[in-house]
Structure 1
Amino acid sequence: MPDVYKQSFKQNYTNNIELSIFNCGLERCAPGQTWGPGIRDHYLIHLVVSGRGTFEVGGRTFAVAPGDLFFARPSQLIRYSADEQQPWEYSWVGFNGACAHKLAAQLPFTDEQPVHHTSDPDGMRTALTNIYSSRGLQPQNEAAMVGYLYLFISALMKETSEAKPHSTSSSSQYVLNAIKYIQFNYSHDISIDDVAKSVGVSRSHLYRVFMLNVGKSPIDYLTDYRINEACKLLRAGNLSIAEVAVSVGFFDQFYFSRVFKRAKGVPPSKYLASQTDAAETPDAE
């Protein structure tokens, strides 16, 4: 058996809230090598290059072979193990961010089928290798890694559309349209009823498809999106807290502060102060 190896890169900090790479790498595992059971706080995609193994999620076990990709969502209890006789070699990328949910909804994975056999294993491997090869701690490295991640996701989305050419009326499409509406209108005084009307479904149906595809309710998604946008504006340092609140669709500053603290653990004033302190502290080597 070839020697085992592991080459990996982990981000400890990211400036990109929209789409952030948490980790990436490539590994040839030892026989029976296992991760889990456990949960991740980000999306995780593995591409099996050679060998075999199993992926366990949702109480089910899936056999995984070369050319297969297996997909884990945040907070899912998962376990994956290399075969004892033919341990796998794989590449992987872990990511999250405000855009991650809508992108994941367009990938060829479902809770019922979290394993997908790619029609282009060499292309997928190259895409993941490009992410890892661009690794580094400088802003330009992060930009390159995220750029290659988008290309990898784009290739997967293409396989989704080819496999389901008539899926535009599916529940995921309602979610995508709702997310687009939120992203273009979050700064206005919109309600979930407005979002539901914009995509032509009832409020209750929108709730169901959001929970299915995103894992959170429409109001939670809207709130999280607004708070993440508020964080960007606070870090920029050009606006007062009241101005930031209005800019992201909160027209009561005190309510904005309560929601912000619930989401981030600190009120916006302390968040702003922490960003200022961080900017004034020189990087330690």
Structure 2
Amino acid sequence: MENTGEHYKFSNKVREKSLVSLSVYNVGHQRCTPGYTWGPGMRDHYLIHYVISGKGTYTVHGRTHELYPGDAFLIFPDTEVSYRADLHDPWEYRWVGFQGSDAASIIGSSDFTPAGPVLHHISCGDALCEHLTRINKAYGNSFSNAIEMTGELYLCLNLLITKSPESESDDPATVRRALSYIDARYSYAITVEDVAGYAAVSRSTLYRQFMKTIGISPKQYLDELRMRRACRLLEDTDLTVSAISVSVGIPNSLYFSRAFHKATGLTPTAYRSGKRNPS
């Protein structure tokens, strides 16, 4: 237990021989100091963090994800990552690391994917946090402790298992949540995976509900919103094409120019010229 005023770290690593199919590798709880950073580095096991309070960022595969209370992120084995507490509102989180022959298949049934390792605003957050707390309380190096911790770990992971499409309802509130998230954060480099994570559904479910409710896919809605905003910025500002690209959530200006041409039939420069100097 490390304690520096209001900041602390409580971490337990299990030393008893692991259960083969699934076992807890480590478990802990940390209230981070401002700017506290782990990595870049790799783990040799799965590691789930659940954010209790504050905020921070998680970087993997060249993408940086912003996380807030109620969000969770997964570190896959042998994957280079880093994560960092906010300088002004550093996060507090609980975590559990685990391994075993069944770990990959269990994670494969969850909403976590290598391309989408972050879940936003998960509905099972309170229950997940409670099971993580119970794993901490069950900590010990006896075989009995290992069984109890693994039992709680199974309950944790069960909360994160993806529902089958047949069992998911067509909830209009899901689309409303997704639309509000896109409208508020399109200017960041968000993806459909981020939107699905915020809405707490799988990508396939989000796609199906968008098509049923508004007639277009989540990606099409996001792309069209970005292009509409880009048109306004080209008409009303003197920002460079590169700056406009970043402003609508597309860091690569070449990709932006191609997408803009596909959407409008014009390059960004030609569009601006045509609006300002109509023939």
Question: TM-score over 0.5 for the alignment?
Answer: yes
Distance 2:164 2:52 in 1: 20
1:196 aligned residue: none
Corresponding letter in the other structure for 1:37 = P
Distance 1:111 1:147 in 2: 25
1:155 to 2:159 alignment: yes
Corresponding letter in the other structure for 1:128 = L
2:51 aligned residue: 48
Which one of the candidate residues 144, 154, 178 is aligned to 2:148?
144
- Displacement after TM superposition at 1:7 (Å): 1.2
- Displacement after TM superposition at 1:2 (Å): 7.2
1:91 to 2:94 alignment: yes
2:103 aligned residue: 100
Which one of the candidate residues 92, 97, 113 is aligned to 1:110?
113
Which one of the candidate residues 35, 39, 42 is aligned to 2:38?
35
Q: Which moved more, 1:45-54 or 1:124-133?
A: 124-133
Equivalent pair of 1:20/1:146 in contact (CA under 8 Å): yes
After superposition, the Cα gap between the structure-2 partners of 1:160 and 1:7, relative to the gap in structure 1 and judged at 3 Å, is farther
Equivalent pair of 2:16/2:143 in contact (CA under 8 Å): no
- Displacement after TM superposition at 1:120 (Å): 2.5
| CA distances 1:156-193 after superposition (whole Å, capped 9, x unpaired) | 115686524978xxxxxxxxxxxxxxxxxxxxxxxxxx
- Displacement after TM superposition at 1:89 (Å): 0.2
Equivalent pair of 1:106/1:160 in contact (CA under 8 Å): no
Equivalent pair of 2:47/2:97 in contact (CA under 8 Å): yes
- Displacement after TM superposition at 1:46 (Å): 0.0
Which one of the candidate residues 6, 23, 42 is aligned to 2:9?
6
Equivalent position SS for 1:62: strand
1:190-229 → structure 2 map (5 Å cutoff):
none
Q: Structure 2: any 5+ residue segments left out of the alignment?
A: 169-200, 206-279
- Displacement after TM superposition at 1:111 (Å): 2.1
Corresponding letter in the other structure for 2:11 = S
| CA distances 1:196-235 after superposition (whole Å, capped 9, x unpaired) | xxxxxxxxxxxxxxxxxxxxxxxxxxxxxxxxxxxxxxxx
1:240 aligned residue: none
Q: Percent identity?
A: 42
After superposition, the Cα gap between the structure-2 partners of 1:41 and 1:133, relative to the gap in structure 1 and judged at 3 Å, is same
1:126 aligned residue: 130
| TM-score calculated relative to the size of structure 1 | 0.56
Equivalent pair of 1:43/1:94 in contact (CA under 8 Å): yes
- Displacement after TM superposition at 1:15 (Å): 3.6
Which one of the candidate residues 50, 57, 67 is aligned to 2:70?
67
Equivalent pair of 1:108/1:160 in contact (CA under 8 Å): no
2:79 aligned residue: 76
2:213 aligned residue: none
After superposition, the Cα gap between the structure-2 partners of 1:88 and 1:37, relative to the gap in structure 1 and judged at 3 Å, is same
Corresponding letter in the other structure for 1:31 = P
Equivalent position SS for 1:95: strand
Equivalent position SS for 1:128: helix
Larger radius of gyration: 2
